[in-house]
Structure 1
Amino acid sequence: MNKTICQIVDSSGSLPRDFIKQYNISEVPFYFKFDITNYYRENIDYEITEFYKHMEKHPDDVLKTSAPNIHDWLTVFEEQYARGAKKYIVTTISSKLSSSFQTAISAKKIFEEKNNDAHIEVISSNTCACGQAALEIGIAKLIDSDRDFGDIVETIHKMVTKISTLFVVNSMTYMKAGGRIGGATAFLGKLINIKPVCEFREGVVHPIKAIRGRTKSLKTMIDVAVSRIIDINKMIIIIQNAEFQEDVDYMCNYLRNKTNYSGQIFKSNLGIIVGAHSGPGAIGIGFVEHP
């Protein structure tokens, strides 16, 4: 691995924990709190399983979230600098969904003024969750290939424009509460069991197709994904779920049977910050071509 280039991410991508360790990726956590608690740090202070149990038991307890602050970013920048890193690639959730990108930019300016031999590239993924994770997995592999820093950065910016982030929620209650979907759509879904297939595009949620029933919605999501892929063997694919592992297995099998794909499909839990808006049972697939 190229030890002079370090990779730093915010926690909204919910990268697989073993992948983070394998590629020495630094993760800067988001914060969250319930109505009667202090703030917790994502992936540090609270188990994801317990979080989704809490959501099921207390659906009206709307989560409050907070992006990493400037100090959080600076702390990680300094840790990496002490280890010898001079070049940094930082990725965040879409700048349209959170202030994480802006606080990282502010921290970059402070750090580079203090350390003029450091170069920090901060990139908004323009998405979140599984799409962001697919991008970040690709970045780790680019760094591991010992390519030139400038070439890596240029390639990443091209990759950002080609990410797909598709998802299905089990209940639209949480998206409605978080302001992520219209009240009329949420009400309709409750009445006739609509499970809309949606995507993050340009940092915003867009419905693709309204499907009745959970299994049909999962199949439709994979069908849409496959329709967008030219060569699946060049893709980085990750599936994230909120405590519905059997649906992950179903999606993987359906995707492999439909495409004869035998390559790696990454898997991870849907993180708390994104899961707070999508709720228990949410599941998504993110993919991007690896250059």
Structure 2
Amino acid sequence: MRKIILSTDSGADLPKELVEKYQIQVAPMHIIMDGKDYLDGELSVEEVFEYYNRTKKIPSTAATNVQEYHDFFSKIRSDFPDSLIIHIGCTSKASVTFQSAVIAAKEFDDLFLVDSLNITGGLAAIVMYAAILLEHEPSIDHNRLIEKIESFVPKTRLAILPGSLDFLKAGGRVSNLVYLGGALLKIKPCIELKDGKLVSIRNYRGKMSIVAEKFMRDFLNEYNIDRKLLFLIYSIGLDESIKNRMVEIARGKGFENVKWMQAGAGISTHAGPGGFGVAGLEL
């Protein structure tokens, strides 16, 4: 029986212990700061925030290119000879990363691609459900596994509450007028993935401790998320008391496994410090 290897992009923000436990291969994207190109993971989130505090500029991000994917897939084949590779990539509607993987994959046999139409915790949820399914059914046919993974995609739910509008403004993602109004009224936009694109769907007003709880309850009331696994996402700076409260709410809703994951440098350039998000698969 041929071994199935799962791979994904660093934009999944998968915790290191899960990457190691399930032997998930991760292709790094790029962070560009002060004209220098870093692989995602080489640059800490603290350095991103320190750079912004010093310059009022945010680093830019760049996709993994075709040659890098070719080298990435080649290494998997070298490390796991005669393996079948299933690559679950970041949304094709927000980055050229997936298209680069598609081009590189043409050089390989038994390499299959799945467009997650998601990022960060949403992508992580799909990858982890696939990894857990493969763990429980190690002899599953790869075509059946791919069908299962693709069935997860439209059921994936991700919502993000940025910690600061400063980063959205610095990145040109909100106008000065919206920024000033939001800052004065302490408004925090709720951003969800809809059809592979980030969309602001509603606004919350008030302190993060109050807003985060309302945001969390709204998400769990709107979507019937599978109680087996819930991802909670934070960017550095989110208060520990808020994190503890979010776990209490999730446990109260019957979630068996609540997994915190730290937003990497890429998503942190959007969310800023103190951001919060939640992701899972809808039943």
TM-based fold match above 0.5: yes
What residue number does 2:158 align with? 165
Distance 1:121 1:186, change over 3 A: farther
8 A Cα contact 1:199 1:207, kept in partner:
yes
User: Where do 1:1-291 residues align within 5 Å?
Assistant: 4-34=3-33, 36-43=34-41, 45-55=42-52, 57-58=53-54, 60-82=56-78, 83-109=80-106, 111-112=107-108, 118-144=109-135, 145-146=137-138, 147-213=140-206, 214-230=208-224, 232-234=226-228, 236-243=229-236, 244=238, 246=240, 247-257=242-252, 259-261=253-255, 263-289=256-282
Offset at 1:183? 4.5
Secondary structure of the equivalent of 1:33?
Answer: strand
CA distance in 1 between counterparts of 2:239 and 2:119 reads: 20
Give the superposition deviation at 1:256: 2.0
Q: Which runs of 5+ in 1 are unaligned?
A: 113-117
State the alpha-carbon separation in 2 of the partners of residues 233 and 20 from structure 1.
22
Report the TM-score, using the length of structure 1 for normalisation.
0.88
User: What CA distance in whole angstroms lies between the structure 2 residues aligned with 1:260 and 1:203?
Assistant: 28
Deviation per CA, 1:214-249, whole angstroms, max 9, x where unpaired?
Answer: 123211221122113436434x31111111251322
Q: Which amino acid aligns with 2:3?
A: T
Partner SS for 2:56: coil
Aligned-residue RMSD, C-alpha:
2.0
TM-score by length of 2: 0.90
What's the offset of the Cα at 1:23?
A: 0.7
List structure 1 runs of 4+ shifted beyond 4 angstroms: none
Q: Is the contact between residue 33 and residue 63 of structure 1 (CA under 8 Å) also seen in structure 2?
A: yes
How far the C-alpha of 1:250 sits from its partner, in A, is 2.2
**How many residue pairs are counted as aligned between the two chains?**
277
Q: Is the 8 A contact 1:33 1:40 kept in 2?
A: yes
What is the identity percentage for the equivalent residue pairs of Structure 1 and Structure 2?
Answer: 22
Distance of 1:3 and 1:228 partners within structure 2: 41
On the 8 A contact 2:85/2:112 being kept in 1, the answer is: yes
